[in-house]
Amino acid sequence: MNSRYPHPLIAREGWLYLGLACALALAVTVMAGGGWAIPFWVVALFVLQFFRDPARPIPSGDQWVLAPADGRVVAVVPCQDPYRQQPAVKVSIFMNVFNVHSNRSPVAARVREVSYHPGQFLNADLDKASEANERNALLLDLADGRQITCVQVAGLIARRILCYVRAGDQVLAGQRYGFIRFGSRVDLYLPPEVHLCVAIGDTVKATTTILAQWSQT
């Protein structure tokens, strides 16, 4: 295994929120005393844990499809990939507010397209969130011709999807490419012939959990 990690342990997306939360807690401590400030320090601790972004070991080899997010598998279902209009297996990972919300590429691939769709902010645990909610899809083309679609889906509380790659970019397996703030979901549309390594209800971790393995040909 190896680890590629270009960012600090606290996600850069959270620096402003953490700074504001700590400044407010400190101000209340100075002006009103430690007792009154306890709830504000609790909020600051929550912000700190939400925006944590630990380095992760990356399994070696190109035969794996890695989990793109931390969370719980809430769907494993044959379907039609709505972005490529071809048969697929959808694997959905729900992230609650206590999961790491940094998103990582499941494979080494070229980004064919980045497709943003505005939408609602339903509970991301619901199946209809995949089609109804605000979302951002990465269409990934592997060197061997296989294709994967990786979709960031906003949730009930999540109101901001961040994506840092563009069409034409090359991404590495396990590479950090985006972030979703305050609870959300990631959908993966995989080729039907893939061998799945997870089931509904499983808890997964971005990069370190092997979600699927390519069938040997």
Adjacency order of strands within the sheet including 86-95: 170-171, 109-117, 135-141, 147-154, 184-190, 86-95, 71-81, 203-204
Is 118 strand, coil or helix? coil
Active site annotation includes 92: no
Q: Which of 60, 102, 184, 215 is catalytic?
A: 184
- Give the CATH architecture of domain 64-213: Distorted Sandwich (2.70)
Reported as a single tens digit per residue, the pLDDT across 169-195 is: 999 999 999 888 766 889 999 999 999
**Which residue, 195, 115, 199, is CA-closest to 149?**
115
Question: pTM for this structure?
Answer: 0.84
- Where along the chain do its domains lie? 12-50, 64-213
Provide the pLDDT for residue 1.
Answer: 44
Place of tokens 């605000």: 134
Q: What is the pLDDT of residue 2?
A: 43
Name the residue with higher pLDDT: 184 or 143: 143
pLDDT band at 130 (very low <50, low <70, confident <90, very high): low
12 or 143, which is more confident? 143
Residue 169, amino acid: D
Residue 134: DSSP 8-state: -
The residues, any chain, with a CB within 8 Å of residue 51's CB and separated by 6 or more, are 10, 11, 13, 14, 15, 17, 18, 101
User: What pLDDT, on the 0 to 100 scale, is given for residue 154?
Assistant: 81
Q: What is the pLDDT of residue 148?
A: 96
pLDDT digits (tens, 9 = 90+) for 67-79: 999 999 999 999 9
Higher pLDDT, 172 or 8: 172
| pLDDT of 6 strictly over 70 | no
Per-residue model confidence as pLDDT tens digits over 41-60: 999 998 888 888 888 888 88
Closest residue by Cα to residue 66 from 107, 108, 110, 6 = 107
